[in-house]
Structure 1
Amino acid sequence: MVKQLHDIPFSVLDLAPIREGGTAADSFHNTLDLARHAEEWGYHRYWLAEHHNMPGIASSATSLVIGHVAGGTKRIRVGSGGIMLSNHAPLVIAEQFGTLESLYPGRIDLGLGRAPGSDQAAARALRRGLGSDGSEFPEQLSELRAYFDANGAGGRPLGVRAVPGEGLNIPIWLLGSSGFSAQLAGQLGLPFAFASHFAPDYLLPALHLYRSSFKPSAVLDKPHVMIGLGITAADTVEEARRLATSQQQQFLNIIRGRTGKLQPPVDSLDGIWTPQEKAMLLSKQQYSIAGDPSLIKERLLEILEETAADEWIIASQIYDHSARLHSYKLVSELLQEQ
């Protein structure tokens, strides 16, 4: 059967943006407000991402913010998109997410990434004696999964237990922007989420690698893919494209090796970016959509045909909170059309 847009669960990826002129406290207020609206509008999951040493992102203490959102909502699944496991001892993550699952049973997801989610200086400050190149990720993942195993399966240090955590069924997702996590997720039979909103060139190869390497497990009997998309929706294409310049300025700062708060939209980036920067930025936005509902629906149908996605997760870096709410509402309405 051919998938339709209304067949696919859709979720929110919140980077907890700190706006120019705003504070982290404002960001947390807006995050909870968006989560409550997302729950009302039919979004399936609400994920928060771990980043460090970034003045424009407030979700560095990711588990705490997940608890903030889960405590202020009723039904929507809440989780990480993701926890950067190389920054942490697996036991600590098992205990944190065991605590969250005990407080909010049946609603917590644990998405895991291999990258540090920070610059090199912050990575060194976080990791201290831990490895630094991501090669330890499979071993850390094995140890983490063992802490949740009620039968005390191998992989964790002898005599060490996660309390709370042990025996709890917390769905684990692997997140990636390249082939490493795709292949590992396939081999372990875990669901896989790809960050196509900032690594578009690797999307299709990673999906092929995941699906071709997939081995059924106690978790999944067939591959399950979530696609990350950047979407800015408004009543008109022109307004959506103007709102999307906040996210484009954020990408531009990354290209230039800078960080900063989320900037207000501008009418045009001409004079702000160079021709080379423009070409580089636009090449990274193959799976970022700015438009009215009609344009967004058309592009989503193309991506669905291209990827056969099982779920969407949508990131919308919009400066004005009311405009961000409106964007997510428009997207929810078009994805639920019969």
Structure 2
Amino acid sequence: MDRFRAYRITNEGRVSASFADMDESQLDQGEVDVDISFASINFKDALAATGRMPIIRRFPCIGGIDASGVVRSSRSPRFKAGDPVIVHSHGFGVSHHGGYSPRARVPADWVTAVPADMTLQQAITIGVAGYTAALAVELMELNGLAPGKGKVLVNGASGGVASVAIDLLSARGFHVVAATRKLAERGYLEGLGAAEVVDAGSLQVGNRPLESAVWQGAVDSLGGAALSALTRTMQKDGVIASIGNALGVEFSTNVMPFILRGVRLIGVNSDNDVALRDHLWHRLGTDLRPRHLDRIAQVHSFDELPEMIDAVADGRIKGRTVVQVRA
């Protein structure tokens, strides 16, 4: 019986996480077995492992909502042993054992082939965060976003989704304004393609139903009051992609931005069907391929996982935090 070490989240009176010895009999059901090489630490992962939010749906659960690796065996005709793949979304790392383990067994519909000429490390640097950014860009462009029509705001700019969004939007010719409270990261954000870097605190606006129209588009990682302000400061036919809730899950607005300016507020969710996921990963390997993955990624050993989870939970990182699960 193949044994391995995994990072498992438990709840015995309180939520905690630690390394544990496991064997393949403890893996969940699925058609595809994957030898995992890399995983990442998303903000959701950090909140789950620290118990700061009730994210995990079953205990114990191996954490990690995305991972890249090589197919070990497959009972699905879509994959064969040796295929490089990425796994993310659905219940992975939440209600189904996730990526903080050298072994995973998952449903075939959760698995996507890594694009040609892309390494496993590059794939996980994109990961669920980059996939979400790509989906946001595609949906915004389908709803009228176009270069030359105005500025595009990306808030929470040093985070994982936002970092990739800045990269993708700037490559497509948009004037990207990165909003952050971490102004020390100005060089990092400009290196990703931000035309302007502004203090997030400077974007506070009044409480009128409509404020001055500033943004053609916005990728919002924050929710709460930030999203409320955005709805009232969009240009005519402006597009907002809502991808996070770092400031809160509730926001207030009014109908005026929508009926007088035609503002579009789009929710972005990564739990998509196979066809859409394959389509977007194809684009992430071609016309939406991020240009600055080396700048975005910070790579750490598997042993450093607990320390880096705390750093991500506390907001002490930028970009994408990658963990090398298998040396």
User: What's the TM-score, normalizing by structure 2?
Assistant: 0.28
State TM-score, norm by structure 1.
0.27
Of Structure 1 and Structure 2, which has the larger fraction of its residues in helix? 1
